[in-house]
Amino acid sequence: MRSPVPDIVSASIRRPWVTLGLCLVLAALALVFSAARFDMTTDTAALISPDVDWRKQERAMEAAFPQLSDVMLVVVDGATPELAEDAATKLTASMAADHTHFRLVRRPDGGDYFAREGLLLGSREDVRQATAALIEAQPMLGPLAADPSLRGVDNAISAMLDGVEAKSATLDQIDKPVRALAEATEGSLAGKPAYFSWQQLFGSKSGPLSPPKRRLILAQPVLDHAALMPGEAASDAVRAAAGALKLDSAHGVSVRLTGEVPLADEEFATLRENIGTVGLVMFAAMLVTLWFATRSVRLVAAILVTIVIGLVVTTAVGLLAVGRLNLISVAFIPLFVGLGVDFGIQICVRFNAERMAGMEPYAALQAAATALGAPLLLAAGAVFLGFGAFLPTAYIGIAELGVIAGLGMVIALALSITLLPALVLLLRPGVPRREVGFAEFEPADRFLEANRKHVLWAFGASMAVSIALLPLVVFDFNPLHLRDPHAPSMQTLADLTRDPDRTPNTIDALAASPDAARTLVDRLLALPEVGSIATVDTFVPDDQPAKLALIQDASLLLDVTINPLDVAPAPSDTELVASLHGVAGRLKTVAGSSTGKGATDARRLAVAFDNLAGSTPAQRAAVNAMLSQPLTVMLDQVRATLQAEPVTRETLPPDLLRDWVAPDGRARLQIFPKGDGNDNEVMKRFRAAVATVTPAISGLPVATQAAASTVAGAFVQAGVIAFLLVSLLLFLVLRDVREVAFTLAPVVLSIFLTLATCVIIGQPINFANIIAFPLLFGVGVAFHIYFVMAWRGGATDLLQSSLARAVLFSALATGTAFGSLWLSDHPGTASMGKILMISLAWTLVCALVFEPALLGPPRADKSEDPLAA
């Protein structure tokens, strides 16, 4: 079998200008095609086949409840419950009016329904305590409702002091509001951020009915999947709306974004942050390595031009083959550069060796082609099959990467034996000034000859240790762990996962109907891994007659109190001063010389109000706003609460009902875990337990673990296919089982050594860095084929040869280029750079140490080898 490479090289260098012109025309056409047809999706759902079972369940849930996918979660935190509620109400209204950026905006934990019926969702005892607290606060609520201002507060205090003077109350009994008002007024006068909460004053500080300081807004933004950050415009719109409404830390409110859309956008923003630095380092490392490999600026230029044109053509061919790029397939760029540069280095280093032997450029190129033709073809074929092995897997992202990278290897080889020789001939690099090989490695060759068995035993021992460490390899396929933990959306998500009522680590299940869901709840709650479950019936209160009776009694008593016939107009500053002095005097009089805690706080408030009366109008206006704004929110909520009505499943608000019951009657269950939602092991047990009750599940814990299983299965499947295909190719060419083993054994060893190193340094294998293993396989097979083909051709002293130089600098070029990814701010990309460096280091060790020792002396029957040069 004669390699066609020498004939192709000869034809290319006979007419180098024609070859260059044709390649430039091809590149121009590819560039035009790529510019016109370029398409890339950032949709992570497109990375895995829609036909696997868990994706079918995910699609079924999305089809039943489309409003719950592609969402943005706005987390509103307030210094007080009133600030949080007021901010969430205003921001929701602003976002809902913005149809350019949002398709759907709603409040999963707020709105009219929860304001009116929320109290019913507590226990009967919760309702009794809440209504009793409101009735007890009636003396204060009346003046506040009639005059919701600082003056009304003064009137309320005066009313309470009337009770103290009438001996129907004590100062200790009214100490809670007096102390709270004193602290808030003192803080405001001192220039400190001061906020006041009437809900916290009248309500419970803990328990299910404690007033929340966090509110959520769920939105479906309008996405542009053609952009790197599809939801960026919507996120900017939220921030702009919050800024316009003064919802910021200066006003006691924080607005943060998380959810699948902001998380994905911030991930790409992190990738983009220092991409320029990473790219510059990668390019510089490649240039330096190529120069040390060839010692010729002209040869470096020839290799770079070949790589660039090859990349342009591969992009066009890849778009033609797969239609559009995805987040994984775009990695063909570094793969093409890393593997394509190997062909260029092999040819140029061998060209230099022939030039050192006295050949002219034309003859040197032909000699290099003759020597390398078969190894290059075999290496490219093996890499092509290795990448193509991913095609039948369910991991579409890596399968499409395999298609593009495999075709890229064909293109890289084709240009390396056409364009590259033509460029070398046209650029006319000079004769190398020093030995092309490594004469200084002569002692290493002698050492390997003399200690071959010891070297093989050492590698055998390292293989055994690596196999023993395999059970300790950590596979962390949680995509959240690949993101920057300091990014705002990730910090917000981490904050939510610590909130058991709002954790995103929940499982959604589908039931045939709400009644079937109720049956399913009983079975799921029996699992020790399940904490709680929400269904449509969660929002239909139980024990309603008793609870409504308590609320109706409170409503009868408080109706006139909280709904006065006349509401006083806003006070003037002069009226505020008079009111403050008046109530301060009464506080001092009633407290007198008493020593109790209530008397002490009464005198403290009297001093604070006197100081406020003597302060500036602006300061009094600030305190008036601090008290009156939350007062309005609190009074509105009290009025709504006292209007509670009976609730049935049929009377639930349509939007709320739609979140839990699909139009076809199927019902959704939201299952919360018991334990730490950030612990992978807890989540594994949680998902496995729920799956024993119902297979119709989806959600973050399901997608994370199922995707991990799919990806791991794809790599195992592709690994087996690649190993078999490459073994068959090698056997068809080499016709020797032992030589096939000589080629593949070092590749397998380098993979095991890489995994063992990951265990030692504590580096998990994840979605990003697992891509290093196809590269490791491709580079490893190519390197070892070069050595095996040279050995079967009778080559000796392999470490001193030009081949060793080509392999060394090819590995360094690939390793330093990919290693620069380690500098990325993106944790997933940085881990990929780390694994690539480690894997290429072991590949190099196996190629330059293990392979020569494994091969031993040249074949005695090399003259019969049909592939020998």
Residue pLDDT, tens place only, 776-799:
777 778 778 888 888 887 777 778
Measure the CA–CA gap between 645 and 489, rounded to whole angstroms. Answer: 39
Are the C-beta atoms of residues 747 and 379 closer than 8 Å to each other?
no
Core vs surface per residue 210-240: b (16+ CB within 10 A) or e: ebbbbbbbbbbbbbeeeeebbbbbbbebbee
Are the C-beta atoms of residues 322 and 404 closer than 8 Å to each other?
yes
Q: Which of 335-349, 450-464, 622-636 has the lowest mean pLDDT?
A: 335-349
Alpha helices in 357-487 (DSSP H): 361-388, 396-416, 419-427, 442-450, 452-469
Instruction: Report the residue count for the chain.
Output: 869
Residue 602 has what pLDDT?
93
Q: Confidence class of residue 279 from pLDDT cuts 50, 70 and 90?
A: confident
Mean pLDDT score, 203-231: 77
- Going by C-alpha positions, the residue among 48, 52, 56 that lies closest to residue 696 is 56
Residue 665 has what pLDDT?
92
Are the C-beta atoms of residues 291 and 818 closer than 8 Å to each other?
no
Looking at residue 538, the DSSP 8-state letter turns out to be: G
Residue 260 has what pLDDT?
81
Residue 868 has what pLDDT?
40
The β-bridge relationship of strands 214-221 and 507-511 is unpaired
Residue 753 has what pLDDT?
93
**Any idea where the domains of the chain sit in the sequence?**
5-45+269-479+705-864, 53-66+495-540+653-699, 70-258+541-649
Q: Confidence class of residue 257 from pLDDT cuts 50, 70 and 90?
A: very high
Q: What is the dihedral of CA 388, 391, 397, 403, to 10 degrees?
A: 40
Core vs surface per residue 622-657: b (16+ CB within 10 A) or e: bbbebbbbbbebbbbbbbbbbebeebeeeebeeebe
Tokens read off for 114: 């929860």
Looking at residue 40, the DSSP 8-state letter turns out to be: B
pLDDT one-digit tens code per residue, 131-188: 988 888 888 888 999 999 999 999 999 988 998 898 888 999 889 899 999 999 999 9
Q: Confidence class of residue 381 from pLDDT cuts 50, 70 and 90?
A: confident
The contacts of residue 339 (CB under 8 Å, 6+ apart) are 383, 405, 408, 409, 412, 775, 778, 779, 782, 814
Query: Residue 227 pLDDT > 80, yes or no?
Result: no
Query: Residue 372 pLDDT > 90, yes or no?
Result: no
Place of tokens 């592609």: 70
What is the sign, positive or negative, of the torsion defined by CA atoms of 232, 237, 242, 243?
A: positive
pLDDT one-digit tens code per residue, 671-680: 999 887 777 7
E strand or H helix that includes residue 253: strand 253-258
E strand or H helix that includes residue 277: helix 275-294
pLDDT one-digit tens code per residue, 55-71: 888 888 988 998 888 88
Q: What percent of the chain has pLDDT over 70?
A: 94
Measure the CA–CA gap between 403 and 313, rounded to whole angstroms. Answer: 14
Place of tokens 């407290």: 591
Mean pLDDT score, 546-563: 92
Are the C-beta atoms of residues 151 and 571 closer than 8 Å to each other?
yes
- Going by C-alpha positions, the residue among 724, 778, 806, 791 that lies closest to residue 382 is 778
| Between residues 862 and 859, the one the model is more confident about | 859
Helices 396-416 and 297-322, packing angle to 10 deg: 140
Tokens read off for 808: 């060394």
Q: Confidence class of residue 867 from pLDDT cuts 50, 70 and 90?
A: very low
Measure the CA–CA gap between 763 and 760, rounded to whole angstroms. Answer: 8
Measure the CA–CA gap between 254 and 92, rounded to whole angstroms. Answer: 14
CA atoms within 13 A on the CB side of 795: 22
pLDDT one-digit tens code per residue, 727-785: 888 888 888 888 888 888 898 899 999 999 999 998 888 777 777 777 677 777 877 88
For 743-794, the DSSP string reads: HHHHHHHHHHHHHHHHHHHT--B-TTGGGHHHHHHHHHHHHHHHHHHHHHTT
Are the C-beta atoms of residues 744 and 852 closer than 8 Å to each other?
no
Q: Domain 5-45+269-479+705-864, what fold?
A: Multidrug efflux transporter AcrB transmembrane fold (1.20.1640)
Measure the CA–CA gap between 424 and 420, rounded to whole angstroms. Answer: 6
Residue 43 has what pLDDT?
66
Measure the CA–CA gap between 387 and 774, rounded to whole angstroms. Answer: 7
E strand or H helix that includes residue 671: strand 667-673
Amino acid type, 242 = A
Are the C-beta atoms of residues 461 and 830 closer than 8 Å to each other?
no
E strand or H helix that includes residue 608: helix 597-613
Place of tokens 């959240």: 480
Tokens read off for 282: 């990668």
Query: Residue 853 pLDDT > 90, yes or no?
Result: no
Place of tokens 């590259």: 420
Are the C-beta atoms of residues 390 and 401 closer than 8 Å to each other?
yes
Q: What percent of the chain has pLDDT over 90?
A: 41
- Across 314-318, 483-487, 594-598, 862-866, the highest mean pLDDT is recorded for 314-318
| Between residues 229 and 468, the one the model is more confident about | 468
Q: Confidence class of residue 869 from pLDDT cuts 50, 70 and 90?
A: very low
Q: Confidence class of residue 435 from pLDDT cuts 50, 70 and 90?
A: low
Measure the CA–CA gap between 327 and 43, rounded to whole angstroms. Answer: 8
Q: What is the mean pLDDT of the chain?
A: 86
Looking at residue 503, the DSSP 8-state letter turns out to be: -
Core vs surface per residue 777-806: b (16+ CB within 10 A) or e: bbbbbbbbbbbbbbbbbebebbbbbbbbbb
Amino acid type, 729 = L
Place of tokens 């001939």: 425
Place of tokens 């430039």: 24
Measure the CA–CA gap between 45 and 85, rounded to whole angstroms. Answer: 34
Residue 861 has what pLDDT?
53
Are the C-beta atoms of residues 386 and 774 closer than 8 Å to each other?
yes
**Measured CA angle at 200 (ends 195, 201), to 5 deg:** 90
What is the sign, positive or negative, of the torsion defined by CA atoms of 151, 153, 154, 160?
A: positive
pLDDT one-digit tens code per residue, 613-649: 999 999 999 999 999 999 998 899 899 999 999 999 9
Are the C-beta atoms of residues 580 and 154 closer than 8 Å to each other?
yes
Looking at residue 47, the DSSP 8-state letter turns out to be: G
pLDDT one-digit tens code per residue, 679-731: 778 888 999 999 999 988 998 888 877 877 888 788 888 888 888 888 888 88
The contacts of residue 638 (CB under 8 Å, 6+ apart) are 134, 141, 558, 562
Amino acid type, 285 = A
Measure the CA–CA gap between 189 and 206, rounded to whole angstroms. Answer: 30
Query: Residue 477 pLDDT > 70, yes or no?
Result: no
- Going by C-alpha positions, the residue among 213, 217, 214, 211 that lies closest to residue 93 is 217
| Between residues 451 and 549, the one the model is more confident about | 549
Q: Confidence class of residue 14 from pLDDT cuts 50, 70 and 90?
A: very high
Looking at residue 574, the DSSP 8-state letter turns out to be: H
What is the sign, positive or negative, of the torsion defined by CA atoms of 218, 221, 223, 227?
A: negative
Rounded to whole angstroms, what are the CA distances from 764 to 257, 686, 731, 780, 832? 28, 22, 35, 22, 11
